[in-house]
Amino acid sequence: MNKNFWLNKAQEWPICALAPMDGYTDSPYRQVVKEIAPNTVVFSEFYSADGLVHSKELQKKALTHNQKEYPLIIQIFWKDPEKFRDAAQIIESYGITWIDINMGCPAKKVVKSGHGSSLMIQRETAFKIVEEMSKAVSIPISVKTRLGWENHELLIDFCKWLQDAWANLVTVHWRTYKQAFTGQANFEWIYELKKHLNIPVICNGDILNYDDGIKKMNNLDGFMIGRASFGNPWCFLPWDYTPTLTEIIQTIKKHGDLLWEMKWKKWMLEARKHLVQYLHSFPWVKEYRTNLVHVESPEEIHDILNRIEKEHSELLNMRIKSSTKESYETAWWCEC
Average pLDDT over residues 9-29: 85
Active site residue 203: no
In the predicted structure, residue 331 carries a pLDDT above the cut 50: no
Average pLDDT over residues 121-148: 96
pLDDT for residue 177: 85
pLDDT for residue 199: 95
In the predicted structure, residue 306 carries a pLDDT above the cut 70: yes
Distant-in-sequence, close-in-space partners of 210: CB < 8 Å, separation ≥ 6: 16, 37, 225, 235, 236, 237, 238, 239, 240
Distant-in-sequence, close-in-space partners of 98: CB < 8 Å, separation ≥ 6: 1, 5, 71, 73, 139, 140, 141, 142, 168
Q: Considering only 102-111, 231-240, 274-283, which range has the smallest mean pLDDT?
A: 274-283
pLDDT for residue 297: 84
To the question of pTM greater than 0.75 for the whole model, the response is yes
- Assess contact for 27 and 66: CB atoms under 8 A: yes
* Exposure on the CB side of residue 184, measured as CA atoms within 13 A: 0
Residue among 105, 203, 235, 334 flagged as catalytic: 105
Q: Which residue has the higher pLDDT, 240 or 34?
A: 34
In the predicted structure, residue 335 carries a pLDDT above the cut 70: no
pLDDT for residue 91: 98
Average pLDDT over residues 251-280: 82
Q: Which string of DSSP letters, residue by residue, matches 312-328?
A: TGGGTT-B-PPPSHHHH
Average pLDDT over residues 189-217: 96
The total of other beta-carbon atoms located within 10 Å of residue 95's CB is 12
Q: Considering only 38-42, 87-91, 249-253, 276-280, which range has the smallest mean pLDDT?
A: 276-280
In the predicted structure, residue 118 carries a pLDDT above the cut 50: yes
In the predicted structure, residue 300 carries a pLDDT above the cut 50: yes
Tally of residues, the chain: 336
* Closest among 233, 280, 291, 227 to 258, alpha carbons compared: 233
Average pLDDT, whole number, for the chain? 89
Average pLDDT over residues 187-212: 96
pLDDT for residue 286: 87
Distance between CA atoms of residues 97 and 73, nearest Å: 6
Q: Where are the beta strands (DSSP E) in 221-260?
A: 222-225
- Assess contact for 204 and 223: CB atoms under 8 A: yes
Q: Per DSSP, what are the bridge partners of residue 18? A: 42, 225
What are residue 298's phi and psi, to 5 degrees? Answer: -65, -30
